[in-house]
């Protein structure tokens, strides 16, 4: 589904990414963890083609068996590939002054001819899909509000609805909960887990809190200073093991607020099918 080969990115002599090799299979839900500055966001931005790797480094990224970038050059098909890759950002990246519905319909831009989209003549089928997507994230009643009037958690749910409207087969969530309070974080992660399960969407989510990775993602790729330091089942991420690979940075990867949210969550959602833990 996603194939990363020899990916290296240099920022003014420091290695942002250092020879990353990784493969994500169809239907996986993978966490990307690491402290700030470890290269999570940089890697995410490379996968969705918003950034290009070093030229002539031999680096290559394939998404859905199509080349997104190679040797620091965006593929000619990059735009086509992007239409099937949904991206969720830390800062939501909605257009504040547009309505929630218009923001969600942006997901259809890859399918709708430009003349229709720019004259705001989205086909009724796309509008229905947009509305259904909003309903799935519980935001249908806010469809005609301006995006700027929503809270952070609500904006992130709208961003997920945009990816659903995109009919994305791969979802890249770059620190989707880093700007949210624990309660909103839980809702957003639950929605991501739910669409992963129901729509068989491959999800890669970068996090800096290990608890969420263990809770929601069977597999974790851990980055440190631009290198993959661990790639395997999330269950292996015990505090002592993390200390071994991260040393003093470990503290940043655990936060007390998350513990509370987790307890709260397990109380509330006991009879809901929880996302499969890594061991299962």
Partner 1 sequence: MTVQNTILVDNRPPRSVQSSMTKLSGWAIVIAILAWSWEGADMRPMALITDAGNMATLAGDFFPPNFADWRLYLEEIVVTFHLAVWGTFLAVICAVPFGILSSENIAPWWIYQPVRRVMDACRAINEVVFAMLFVVSVGLGPFAGVLALWVHTTGVLAKLFSEAVEAIDPQPVEGIRSTGATVIEEVIFGVIPQVLPLWISYSLYRFESNVRSATVLGIVGAGGIGVVLWEMIRGFYFAQTCAIMILIIISVTAIDLVSQRLRKLFV
- How many other C-beta atoms lie within 10 A of the C-beta of residue 277? 14
Identify which of residues 91 and 260 has a Cβ nearer to partner 1 in the complex: 91
110 near partner 1 (CB under 8 A): yes
213 near partner 1 (CB under 8 A): no
107 near partner 1 (CB under 8 A): yes
85 near partner 1 (CB under 8 A): yes
Cβ(146)–Cβ(181) below 8 Å: no
135 near partner 1 (CB under 8 A): no
Of 54, 84, 249, 252, the one binding partner 1 (CB under 8 A) is 84
Identify the bridge partners of residue 170 per DSSP, sorted by sequence position: 85, 202
Cα angle 225-230-231, degrees, rounded to a multiple of 5: 125
Give a three-class secondary structure readout of the chain. CEEEEEEEEEECCEEEEEEEEEEECCCCEEEEECCCCCCHHHHHHHHCCCCCCCCCCCCEEEECCEEEEECCEECCCHHHHHCCEEEECCCCCCCCCCEHHHHHHHHHCCCCCHHHHHCCCCCHHHHHHHHHHHHHCCCHHHCCCEHHHCCHHHHHHHHHHHHHHCCCCEEEEECCCCCCCHHHHHHHHHHHHHHHHHHCCEEEEEECCHHHHHHHCCEEEEEECCEEEEEEEHHHCCHHHHHHHHHHHHHHHCCHHHHHHHHHHHHHCCCCCCCCCCCC
Of 63, 100, 106, 137, the one binding partner 1 (CB under 8 A) is 106
Identify which of residues 78 and 221 has a Cβ nearer to partner 1 in the complex: 78
Identify which of residues 159 and 237 has a Cβ nearer to partner 1 in the complex: 159
66 near partner 1 (CB under 8 A): no
Identify which of residues 118 and 135 has a Cβ nearer to partner 1 in the complex: 118
Of 55, 65, 114, 240, the one binding partner 1 (CB under 8 A) is 114
102 near partner 1 (CB under 8 A): yes
109 near partner 1 (CB under 8 A): yes
Identify which of residues 119 and 271 has a Cβ nearer to partner 1 in the complex: 119
Take residue 206 and report the two structure tokens written for it. Answer: 């970068």
Piece in contact with partner 1 (CB under 8 A), picked from 25-33, 75-83, 213-221, 224-232: 75-83
Q: How far is the CB of 216 from partner 1 (least distance, A)?
A: 22
**Contacts with partner 1, 165-194, as mask; x by CB under 8 A:** -x----------------------------
Identify which of residues 109 and 214 has a Cβ nearer to partner 1 in the complex: 109
139 near partner 1 (CB under 8 A): no
Q: Which residues bind partner 1 (CB under 8 A)?
A: 48, 50, 79-87, 89, 91-98, 102, 106-107, 109-110, 114, 117-118, 159, 162, 166
């Amino acid at each position: 589904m996603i194939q990363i080969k020899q990916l290296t990115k240099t920022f003014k002599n420091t290695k942002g990414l250092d020879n990353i090799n990784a493969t994500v299979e169809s239907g996986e839900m993978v966490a990307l963890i690491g402290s700030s500055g470890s290269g999570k966001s940089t890697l995410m931005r490379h996968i969705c083609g918003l950034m290009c790797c070093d030229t002539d480094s031999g680096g290559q990224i394939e998404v859905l068996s199509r080349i997104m970038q190679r040797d620091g050059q965006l593929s000619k098909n990059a735009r086509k590939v992007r239409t099937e890759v949904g991206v969720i950002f830390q800062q939501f990246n909605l257009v504040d002054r547009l309505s929630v519905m218009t923001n969600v319909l942006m997901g259809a831009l890859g399918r709708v001819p430009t003349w229709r989209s720019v004259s705001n003549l989205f086909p009724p089928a796309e509008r229905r899909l947009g509305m259904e997507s909003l309903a799935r994230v519980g935001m249908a009643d806010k469809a005609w509000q301006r995006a700027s009037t929503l809270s952070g958690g609500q904006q992130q749910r709208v961003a997920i609805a945009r990816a659903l409207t995109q009919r994305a087969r791969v979802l890249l969530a770059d620190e989707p909960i880093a700007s949210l309070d624990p309660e909103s974080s839980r809702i957003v992660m639950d929605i991501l887990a739910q669409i992963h399960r129901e729509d068989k969407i491959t999800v890669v989510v970068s996090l800096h809190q290990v608890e969420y990775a263990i809770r929601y993602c069977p597999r974790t790729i851990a980055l440190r200073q631009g290198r993959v330091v661990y790639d395997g089942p999330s269950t292996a991420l015990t505090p002592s093991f993390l200390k071994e690979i991260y040393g003093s940075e470990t503290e940043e990867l655990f936060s007390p607020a998350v513990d509370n949210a987790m307890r709260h969550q397990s109380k509330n959602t006991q009879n809901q099918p929880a996302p499969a833990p890594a061991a299962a």
